[in-house]
């Protein structure tokens, strides 16, 4: 009798322990989180989010002109993308339209405004993914393609490959009639100054931000994601970051979500950040908010991976967690819209 009761007690204790371990595993740490969830109750017709990079954006570090210029640019990108979604256009078209505008604006570290390598060159990376087909395209280390996001999409649509780099990517872009520019087009004085500062002070390199990205859900419920960057200031030549890597910098799957990343690329590659968020939704049935927060605020933060993501799920929920002081960001749905830079902003 005694041993039966004891066995039962042990069994119950064992079960409690298993339940405890399981709950620890599935419950993400959502403390110290900054996120934006749009339309949790009302179903939205379309939803789109953009970022212009995560980094050390604080009210003290951003001057008034930059603050204003960034908000104007984010709104321009939202306008262009929304015009497409409102008229029933495809998520992929909206993503490329928004990113093209941000690439053409020197405020951002993508296209014109790309940061410099250690050798004072500009090497750009970009990727694009269509969540309805799971097709993807990317370019890495390109120096003469005006809008790398267009080349990334062309790799997806018009080649049998997913990623082309360097001269091969540039030759392909030329064949596709994608606009090429002289490498000097990307030479922006302010970025050169950042490189000089980075060479003098190692901490400077992480103060750079401005990678751009966009995720969208269109009226048909299709998802798409894209990311474009100059990489990290003072990087070695031919260094490739996470932005052109499908699953790290960009991911889209109609069954789960679309994600675009920004931050310290080496961490985003090793932790396959964009795909991890989708996988947590698919395999563990986490919500978008839980999955994105878990990866950014828990997994990445623990190992010192600075950055953030913008995500939209298949129901049009938007989540934008980051673990840096700030992130240039914006969103639009058929119900509401906002842009923000700092952590304490209501948007
Ligand atoms: N993720 C980019 C890279 O590592 C940089 C950034 O987002 O700021 O190339």
Question: Where exactly are the structural domains of the chain?
Answer: 45-342
CB 337 within 8 A of CB 328: no
Encode the chain (347 residues) as per-residue pLDDT tens digits: 445 556 656 666 655 555 544 444 444 444 444 555 554 446 789 999 999 999 989 999 999 999 999 999 999 999 999 999 999 999 999 999 999 999 999 999 999 999 999 999 999 999 999 999 999 999 999 999 999 999 999 999 999 999 999 999 999 999 999 999 999 999 999 999 999 999 988 665 445 568 999 999 999 999 999 999 999 999 999 999 999 999 999 999 999 999 999 999 999 999 999 999 999 999 999 999 999 999 999 999 999 999 999 999 999 999 999 999 999 999 999 999 999 999 999 88
pLDDT at 6: 60
Fold category of 45-342 in CATH: 3.60.20
Q: Which of 122, 125, 210, 307 to mutate to test the pocket of ligand 1 (most atoms within 8 A of CB)?
A: 307
Choose one of 235, 262, 326, 329 to mutate for the ligand 1 pocket test, by most ligand atoms within 8 angstroms of C-beta: 262
* C-beta of residue 217 within 8 angstroms of C-beta of residue 46: yes
Counting from 1 in the atom list of ligand 1, the atom nearest the Cα of 231 is: 9
Q: At what angle do helices 91-103 and 64-86 cross, to 10 degrees?
A: 160
Distance between Cα 101 and ligand 1 center (Å): 18
Interval between CA 270 and ligand 1 midpoint (Å): 13
Instruction: Answer for the pair 223, 260: CB distance below 8 angstroms, yes or no.
Output: no
Strand 135-142, strand 163-165: pairing: parallel
Query: What pLDDT does residue 44 have?
Result: 86
pLDDT of residue 9: 64
How many angstroms does the Cα of residue 55 sit away from the middle of ligand 1? Answer: 10
- For ligand 1, residues with CB inside 6 Å are 53, 209, 211, 229, 231-232, 241-243, 262-263, 265
Crossing angle (nearest 10°) for helices 166-175 and 148-158: 80
Say which residue the tokens 């570090």 belong to.
61
Tokens coding 121: 């060159």
Ligand 1 centroid, distance to 167 Cα (angstroms): 21
Residue 315 CA to ligand 1 centre (angstroms): 28
Q: Is 333 a catalytic residue?
A: no
Mutational pocket test of ligand 1: of 244, 265, 273, 325, the residue with most ligand atoms within 8 Å of the beta carbon: 265
Q: How many CB atoms lie within 10 A of CB 12?
A: 10
Catalytic residue among 33, 35, 117, 211: 211
Helices (H) and strands (E) in the chain — how many of each?
10, 12
Cα–Cα distance for residue pair 46/175, rounded to 1 Å: 34
């Amino acid at each position: 009798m005694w041993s039966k009761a004891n066995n039962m007690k042990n069994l119950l204790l064992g079960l409690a322990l298993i339940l405890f371990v399981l709950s620890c595993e599935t419950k993400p740490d959502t403390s110290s989180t900054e996120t934006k969830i749009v339309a949790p109750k009302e179903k939205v017709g379309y939803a789109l989010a953009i970022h212009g990079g995560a980094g050390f954006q604080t009210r003290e570090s951003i001057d008034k002109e930059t603050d204003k210029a960034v908000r104007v640019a984010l709104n321009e990108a939202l306008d262009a993308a929304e015009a497409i979604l409102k008229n029933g256009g495809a998520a992929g078209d909206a993503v490329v339209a928004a990113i093209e505008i941000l690439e053409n604006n020197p405020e951002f570290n993508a296209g014109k405004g790309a940061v410099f390598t250690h050798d004072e060159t500009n090497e750009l990376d970009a990727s694009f993914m269509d969540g309805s087909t799971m097709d993807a395209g990317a370019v890495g280390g390109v120096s003469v393609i005006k809008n790398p996001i267009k080349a990334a999409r062309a790799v997806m649509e018009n080649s049998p490959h997913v990623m082309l780099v360097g001269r091969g990517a540039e030759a392909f872009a030329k064949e596709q009639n994608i606009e090429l520019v002289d490498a000097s087009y990307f030479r922006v004085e302010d970025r050169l100054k950042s490189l000089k500062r980075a060479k003098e002070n190692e901490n400077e390199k992480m103060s750079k931000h401005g990678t751009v990205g966009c995720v969208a859900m269109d009226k048909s419920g299709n998802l798409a994601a894209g990311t474009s960057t100059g990489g990290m200031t003072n990087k070695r030549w031919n260094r490739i970051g996470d932005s052109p890597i499908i699953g790290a910098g960009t991911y889209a799957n109609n069954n789960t979500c679309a994600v675009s990343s920004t931050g310290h690329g080496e961490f985003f590659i090793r932790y396959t950040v964009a795909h991890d968020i989708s996988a947590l939704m698919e395999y563990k049935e986490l919500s978008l908010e839980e999955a994105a927060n878990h990866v950014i605020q828990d997994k990445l933060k623990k190992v010192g991976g600075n950055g953030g993501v913008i995500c939209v799920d298949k129901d049009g929920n938007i989540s934008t967690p980051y673990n840096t002081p700030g992130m240039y960001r914006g969103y639009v749905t058929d119900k509401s819209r906002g842009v923000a830079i700092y952590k304490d902003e209501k948007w």
